[in-house]
Structure 1
Amino acid sequence: MLTTHLDRTTARAAIALANRAPSVHNSQPWRWRIGDDSVHLFADPGRALPATDPDGRDLRYSCGAALHHLRVALLAAGLGSTVHRLPDPHHPEHLAAVELAHGRPMPPDLALAQAIERRHSDRRVFSTWPVPPEFLEELRDAADGQGAQLQVLEGSAQRDLVARLVEHAGVEQALTPGLAQETATWTGRSRGAREGVPAANVPGSPDGVVPVRHFGAGEQGQNALGEEESDGTVLAVLAVLATPADDPVEQLRAGEALSAVLLTATRQGLATDPISQPLEVPETRARLRDVLADGGEPHMVVRLGWAPISAEPVPRTGRRPLADTIEPLDHPWPPGQGS
């Protein structure tokens, strides 16, 4: 543990980086509280997406990604961490207590922290340049370090199946009452929006083999590929992130593993696109489970590859003001969440 009180400036700077984590529809469904030698992560149910995410899976993945971002940022600042996930069963919104101690970051730790500001979701088609096997092994190790498995899909049959599952999930969700309105509320926003998905970050012509979720609007120019290029070839990477079980703690860990994979891929120079849609529909989630060679519970599909040299930079998505995401440590608990 720390022998002195946690410096508030350091804690706030780490939380600012944690807030750069990916989240479903860029909803940023988390809150933070700062203690003397700890930082606490809470779910923000007011930012949940009940039509898209009725079970709260996406919310916990999002918060798990923010939790890992926080740990990376703290370590870069010289603070190690021990995480207690869901520490109080009477307060299920209290997702994690991060106990701090002195730490010594190594060069790879600093590089991972630097990747936080560069990471973004790229929904455009990727080049057919192959991802080196050693890169994929490093990504598997990143997931394994967080208690998860990253299974790269081999062969066109598995990849085509996952693409069909994404498409089928989209059809099922289109029939879900309230979902179209919820999606329209959170997407198609302006470039300056502090939350939600801007239209400038969604391709206007989704030409990839893996379907892009239907958002409110799409204004992003599609990548231009060669005459015979397509991101559906076996040279682009499609992977499934899984854990041994499926419960709130494992979903939180899956979010942490997603963050580790995305930041590692960003450090490698790869473009990344996490795809949660087939996990949001029970039927397609069950069928995706059958794809896993070694068993386990699927939590996220991840598309990885190289953006073409000519690709325009992906616009930076907005984030809520830091002060809006931090509550006092003694802030009252929400009604009905314990004493």
Structure 2
Amino acid sequence: MPCATPDREITDTALGLAVRAPSVHNTQPWRWRPTATGIQLLADTGRQLTVTDPYQRSLVVSCGAALHHMRAALGALGWASVVDYCPDPRDPDHLATIHTTRRPPGDAQIDLAAAILLRRTDRRHYLPRPVPARHLRSLAAQVSACGAAVRQVPETLLPRLAAPMRHVVAAHAADQRYQEEIARWSGHHRISDGVPSRNAPAARPAGEIPVRAFADPTLLDPVDQPDAAQWLVVGTTRDDRRAQLRAGEATSALLLTATGLGLATSVQTEPLGVLDTRQEIRTGLLHDCAYPQSMVRVGWSSRTAAPLADTPRRPIGEVLEV
């Protein structure tokens, strides 16, 4: 089938869905450049979190999630896609180029794109209701299709997850540079990026597995019992930029599939930005067979929980290079 490129209207519509992808601190560290031969994805390194993400790993994983969102949106709009990953060794910020051909969408493509509009990051507690094994198998299949693997953390191994997370939370609490970075990227003042107060609940009680705390949290948490989330670790056998992009795609596929199944989700990456704690998770949970790239909480939100507000997004004009 001959290569073709979508017009500006289709591209803008797809971008409107792609920019809803999750990213570390909602930094949205991507730029898009349509060309005559494909749609290029570039890292916006000026939005790097230098303390939280000193090696740009989470930045690249975030861009991978946006890449998957973009492909899902194009698929629903009648454009199949293939990706050329890291196509220019001389330009490490050129992460991928999407090549498209016309193809009528099927139900799966439409459902996946519809989940983009429904997905929210829910950092609140989840109910003590088990996630069916068939749902977990569906999530694992989507991750595998993107070239990554996922490990469900069984209850007996949760201490191996909790320990490094507590270590890094304590270290960050005493790190003034980290606290200043969190304050810049969260709170009441965020209007086009970052994590607004309305999307952040209060810090977890002592004894629970901690999750990243943001400035000035105001989101009410209706669940008054310990968190019953399932924890999933997404990993790759390599740790280069291509692998990190693929992990971002896999994380996006997991989140959208979970949303379609009615599950609540929240990506957690705080301990993965520190070499020692990331290695501790790699050894303790992945047995040194894969590199952890993201961690996802999955579960059921309370029926009495208030609907989550959209997190803000940058205007298309800020991320599109014409």
Once the two structures are superposed, the pairs formed by residues 167-246 of structure 1 within 5 Å of their partners are 167-176=166-175, 178-190=177-189, 193-207=191-205, 209-225=208-224, 229-232=225-228, 236-246=229-239
Once the two structures are superposed, the pairs formed by residues 93-112 of structure 1 within 5 Å of their partners are 93-112=93-112
TM-score of the superposed pair, with normalisation by structure 2:
0.95
Distance in 2 separating the partners of 1:320 and 1:25: 13
Q: Which amino acid aligns with 1:298?
A: P
Q: Quickly say closer, same or farther: Cα 1:2–1:312, change in 2 above 3 A.
A: farther
From 276, 297, 307, the counterpart of 1:303: 297
> Does the 8 Å CA contact 2:127/2:227 hold for their aligned counterparts?
yes
The alignment covers a number of residue pairs equal to: 320
Residue 281 of structure 1 corresponds to: 274
Query: Secondary structure, in 3 states, of the residue corresponding to 1:178?
Result: helix
TM-superposed deviation, 1:218: 0.6
Identity %: 40
> Does the 8 Å CA contact 1:51/1:177 hold for their aligned counterparts?
no
Residue 333 of structure 1 corresponds to: none
TM-superposed deviation, 1:6: 2.4
Could you report, residue by residue, the CA deviation over 1:217-256 in whole angstroms, capped at 9, with x for unpaired residues? 110101234xxx4224xxx311110111111111111111
Once the two structures are superposed, the pairs formed by residues 46-61 of structure 1 within 5 Å of their partners are 46-61=46-61
TM-superposed deviation, 1:125: 0.4
Residue 122 of structure 1 corresponds to: 122
TM-score of the superposed pair, with normalisation by structure 1:
0.90
TM-superposed deviation, 1:278: 1.1
From 240, 246, 264, the counterpart of 1:271: 264
Query: Secondary structure, in 3 states, of the residue corresponding to 2:46?
Result: helix
Distance in 2 separating the partners of 1:5 and 1:110: 20
Residue 322 of structure 1 corresponds to: 316
> Does the 8 Å CA contact 2:4/2:100 hold for their aligned counterparts?
no
Could you report, residue by residue, the CA deviation over 1:70-129 in whole angstroms, capped at 9, with x for unpaired residues? 000000011111101110010111000001112232212211100001111111100011
Distance in 2 separating the partners of 1:171 and 1:68: 34
> Does the 8 Å CA contact 1:6/1:36 hold for their aligned counterparts?
no
Q: Quickly say closer, same or farther: Cα 1:3–1:153, change in 2 above 3 A.
A: closer
Distance in 1 separating the partners of 2:146 and 2:316: 26
Distance in 2 separating the partners of 1:180 and 1:267: 35
TM-superposed deviation, 1:175: 4.3
Residue 83 of structure 1 corresponds to: 83
> Does the 8 Å CA contact 1:198/1:317 hold for their aligned counterparts?
yes
Distance in 1 separating the partners of 2:47 and 2:288: 35
Q: Which amino acid aligns with 1:231?
A: D
TM-superposed deviation, 1:209: 2.2
Instruction: Report the more deviating stretch, 201-210 or 67-76.
Output: 201-210
Could you report, residue by residue, the CA deviation over 1:147-182 in whole angstroms, capped at 9, with x for unpaired residues? 0111101123x1122122112112233444522111
Distance in 1 separating the partners of 2:42 and 2:130: 40
Q: Which amino acid aligns with 2:99?
A: E
From 254, 272, 292, the counterpart of 1:261: 254
> Does the 8 Å CA contact 1:204/1:219 hold for their aligned counterparts?
yes
Once the two structures are superposed, the pairs formed by residues 35-46 of structure 1 within 5 Å of their partners are 35-46=35-46
Query: Secondary structure, in 3 states, of the residue corresponding to 1:150?
Result: strand
Instruction: Report the more deviating stretch, 65-74 or 290-299.
Output: 290-299
TM-superposed deviation, 1:4: 5.0
Give unmatched runs, 5+ long, in structure 2. none
TM-superposed deviation, 1:27: 0.5
Could you report, residue by residue, the CA deviation over 1:235-284 in whole angstroms, capped at 9, with x for unpaired residues? x3111101111111111111110000000001111000110011001111
TM-superposed deviation, 1:29: 0.4
User: Which protein has the bigger helix share?
Assistant: 2
Residue 65 of structure 1 corresponds to: 65
Residue 27 of structure 2 corresponds to: 27
Residue 161 of structure 1 corresponds to: 160
